[in-house]
Homo-oligomer: A and B are copies of this chain.
Amino acid sequence: MPEALKMPELELIDHAGLDSAVYLRIYLLGLKIFVPITFLAWAILVPVNWSNNTLELAKVTYSDVDKLSISNIPLGSQRFWAHMIMAYVFTFWTCYVLRKEYERVASMRLHFLASERRRPDQFTVLVRNVPPDPDESVSELVEHFFLVNHPDNYLTHQVVYNANKLAKLVKEKKSKQNWLDYYELKHSRNQSKRPMMKTGFLGLFGDKVDAIDFETSEIERLSKEIAAERERVTMDPKAIMPAAFVSFKSRWAAAVCAQTQQSRDPTSWLTEWAPEPRDVYWPNLAIPYVQLTIKRLIIAVAFFFLTTFFMIPITFVQTLANIEGIEKALPPLKVIIEIPFIKSFIQGVLPGLALKLFLTFLPAILMVMSKFEGFTSISSLERRSASRYYIFNFVNVFLGSIIAGAAFEQLNTFIKQSANQIPKTIGVAIPMKATFFITYIMVDGWAGIAGEILRLKPLIFYHLKNFFLVKTEKDREEAMDPGSLGFNTGEPQIQLYFLLGLVYAVVTPLLLPFILVFFGLAYLVFRHQIINVYNQEYESAAAFWPDVHGRVITALVVSQLLLMGLISTKELAQATPFLIVLPVLTISFHRFCKGRYEPAFIRYPLQEARMKDTLERAREPNLNLKGYLQNAYIHPVFKASDDDEDEDGDFYQKWEEESVLVPTKRQSRRNTPAPSKISANSSPSLPDVVQEKGEP
């Protein structure tokens, strides 16, 4: 652990990638924002709050937390000005830190892009929605189009095959192969008896056959099918999707093509930066434009319903899954259930179980939604899921805890309330919920970090898998793969603490130290985990930072609106207009930052591209770029193939090695370097090359 802390940032970037290094900076950002805020709040606001006796006079039950909060100040007191001035100070400080950090991350990203090795995606553009042409194949069409419109720069291209069926077959074969290994192992241990199996569903029904023979014949059959399917995919023009990876002679030309509109129809020949090869999400490469609009609409509506009404089916399940229900449905169990210990356990666990299960699967559900929407890279899928998860958390955890009601009840309340009543309703409830959120930070935040360092969840999962699923060494290795960091679940959770910290900074400063401890601990632990445990799945060069920045700004504006609502109930008439300026300023600051820094995360400046091109040309004047790029974007299913088909393997291997990205220094337990989630399904072994049509 101490070693992990000593590693300088540059080495960290080298070791774990820029994404991970910048992910850690989110925790640092939390510390940078909240350390001074905590000191200021304790130095100024706590004494101001403490030295009143409103709560004592009111003769209500109150805790010490309340005595330190804004509730302890009498109505109409001039002391509220202290809070309002502090709200200004906190806003300015937060914005200052945010701006510094945005600037820093943007320059880190540009530096990273400038200093990194040659990568295929630097020269490549993903072209989608190639319009259909009756006379030419997709491949010819793409080539002609780019030879005409980028004549001096076009180098080569690769078409995208619809290999979803092939991928399925390969996966099936791999599973059979695994079973075969398992039975052979079993047979070698106990030579006397040949293992038997049933051919039906889950091996429970059907005829009993010799397992080794059966699996061998199955594998043979699948091998043939795979060969046929592979033939079909590479030969049948219908298996070619209207998309292609087009490579250029220079980074400059690729940057130009990615940033410009190609055709007069803005929905065809859509160009964008190609993601890294391992970051590509292949199934989504061929969705036409109109479908995309419709899919987004469907998902927007679905997400709205998911966020608002998810409690309804869960409540319904809960009413079903009670003791009486079970006893009715399964009378024989009655004897067991009626044992007092088991009864109370079931009564305690059952109601929460449905909710807990739903929340566990929520990130996966959101991921499926994002996939349906048609994003083409895993990194963008994760970013989208993270946004949705944040909104869900905001509505159901933050607002849900404050107003204490399911989202659809809140919605009902909000629609029927006036615009200035909503922040008031929430604002007034805020100080009362401080104790709850302190507990929440300890239970969810602190305990979560402790669980992370012990890797409790993966440990349980590993043992479960080991017990139920692991049959061979290969399985065990896969079960032990720690996976990647999981931006889509981690980041929205951190953002919740930003929100809590900013909302309570002025209202109940007592909460701040808990937030500080969370950020500090989490920084240490995740630094350790990133260096020693996680594998990086892709490298997006911190493309997520604009989202992080935007969500902290959201939290800031929410905190300002709620403070306005709270103060407006304190009988200090001049105060509210004084606070209206804050959100206006904050949003304006956000727009400034968006214009100033966001382009660095979306576009590739021509100056940078040109510089890198010139350097490279000077260093390696005889580079065979075409050879380097020719097979960079191959569907992973064509790489992950049978061991018996590696005639072309050496050829591919060469390019594979050259296109390996940001090698990690740690010894991975897996034998391929940082495979993507998709290719992880297909076994890593000697690859072969798709028999692609040669380009002239």
Q: Is the CB of B605 within 8 A of A261?
A: yes
Q: Is the CB of A417 within 8 A of B415?
A: no
A-B contacts, 11 of them at CB < 8 A, read A261-B605, A261-B606, A263-B607, A264-B608, A266-B599, A266-B603, A293-B591, A416-B421, A417-B419, A418-B418, A419-B419
| Chain B contacts for A252, CB-based, 8 A | 149
Q: Are A152 and B152 also in contact (CB < 8 A) when A267-B595, A420-B416 are?
A: yes
Q: Which of B255, B262, B597, B605 contacts A606 (CB 8 A)?
A: B262
| Chain B contacts for A596, CB-based, 8 A | 266-267, 289
Tell yes or no: A347 within 8 A of B by CB: no
Distance of A149 Cα from B255 Cα, bound (Å): 12
| Chain B contacts for A600, CB-based, 8 A | 264, 266
Q: Are A110 and B259 also in contact (CB < 8 A) when A293-B595, A606-B149 are?
A: no
Tell yes or no: A677 within 8 A of B by CB: no
The 4 closest A-B pairs by CB, nearest first: A266-B599, A261-B603, A293-B592, A259-B260
Q: Is the CB of B260 within 8 A of A260?
A: yes
Q: Residue-by-residue, is A297-320 near B (CB-CB < 8 Å gives 1, otherwise 0)? A: 100010000000000000000000
Tell yes or no: A414 within 8 A of B by CB: yes
Distance of A41 Cα from B519 Cα, bound (Å): 63
| Chain B contacts for A145, CB-based, 8 A | 607
| Chain B contacts for A416, CB-based, 8 A | 418-421
Distance of A317 Cα from B94 Cα, bound (Å): 45
Q: Are A297 and B415 also in contact (CB < 8 A) when A266-B595, A289-B595, A607-B262 are?
A: no
Nearest residue (CB) in B for A145 is B607
Range of interface residues on A (Cβ < 8 Å): 35 or more
Tell yes or no: A29 within 8 A of B by CB: no
Q: Is the CB of B592 within 8 A of A290?
A: yes
| Chain B contacts for A524, CB-based, 8 A | none
State which residues 249-275 of A face B: CB under 8 Å: 252, 255-256, 259-264, 266-267, 269
Q: Is the CB of A256 within 8 A of B264?
A: no
Q: Is the CB of A261 within 8 A of B259?
A: yes
Q: Is the CB of A266 within 8 A of B610?
A: no
Distance of A256 Cα from B150 Cα, bound (Å): 11
Tell yes or no: A335 within 8 A of B by CB: no
| Chain B contacts for A110, CB-based, 8 A | 264
Distance of A596 Cα from B265 Cα, bound (Å): 8
Nearest residue (CB) in B for A256 is B256
Tell yes or no: A439 within 8 A of B by CB: no
Q: Which of A260, A584, A600 has most B Cβ within 10 Å?
A: A260
Q: Is the CB of A415 within 8 A of B418?
A: yes
- This chain's copy number in the assembly: 2
Tell yes or no: A53 within 8 A of B by CB: no
Q: Which of A261, A597, A599, A603 has most B Cβ within 10 Å?
A: A261
Tell yes or no: A691 within 8 A of B by CB: no
Distance of A562 Cα from B211 Cα, bound (Å): 70
State which residues 470-529 of A face B: CB under 8 Å: none
State which residues 548-605 of A face B: CB under 8 Å: 584, 588, 591-592, 595-600, 603-605
Q: Is the CB of B588 within 8 A of A297?
A: yes
Q: Is the CB of A418 within 8 A of B420?
A: no
Q: Which of A293, A599, A610 has most B Cβ within 10 Å?
A: A293
Tell yes or no: A148 within 8 A of B by CB: yes
Q: Is the CB of B301 within 8 A of A603?
A: no
Nearest residue (CB) in B for A599 is B266
| Chain B contacts for A606, CB-based, 8 A | 149-150, 260-262
Distance of A450 Cα from B297 Cα, bound (Å): 46
Q: Is the CB of A260 within 8 A of B266?
A: no
| Chain B contacts for A256, CB-based, 8 A | 256, 260
Q: How distant is A576 from chain B, measured CB to nearest CB, in Å?
A: 11
Nearest residue (CB) in B for A267 is B596
Distance of A448 Cα from B252 Cα, bound (Å): 55
State which residues 11-66 of A face B: CB under 8 Å: none
Q: How distant is A265 from chain B, measured CB to nearest CB, in Å?
A: 8
Q: Which of A255, A262, A289 has most B Cβ within 10 Å?
A: A262
Q: Are A605 and B152 also in contact (CB < 8 A) when A289-B595, A418-B417, A418-B421 are?
A: no
| Chain B contacts for A269, CB-based, 8 A | 607
Q: Residue-by-residue, is A148-190 near B (CB-CB < 8 Å gives 1, otherwise 0)? A: 1110100000000000000000000000000000000000000
Distance of A608 Cα from B260 Cα, bound (Å): 12
Q: Is the CB of B149 within 8 A of A610?
A: yes
Q: Is the CB of B149 within 8 A of A603?
A: no
| Chain B contacts for A148, CB-based, 8 A | 607, 610
Task: Name 20 extra pairs, CB < 8 A, besides A260-B606, A264-B605.
Answer: A145-B607, A149-B606, A149-B607, A150-B606, A152-B152, A255-B260, A261-B599, A261-B606, A266-B595, A266-B598, A266-B599, A266-B603, A267-B595, A289-B595, A293-B591, A301-B584, A414-B419, A415-B418, A417-B418, A419-B419
Q: How distant is A288 from chain B, measured CB to nearest CB, in Å?
A: 12
| Chain B contacts for A603, CB-based, 8 A | 260-261, 266
| Chain B contacts for A599, CB-based, 8 A | 261, 266
Q: Is the CB of A263 within 8 A of B605?
A: yes
Distance of A696 Cα from B681 Cα, bound (Å): 61
| Chain B contacts for A419, CB-based, 8 A | 414-419
Distance of A600 Cα from B268 Cα, bound (Å): 12
Q: Is the CB of B262 within 8 A of A259?
A: no
Q: How distant is A444 from chain B, measured CB to nearest CB, in Å?
A: 32
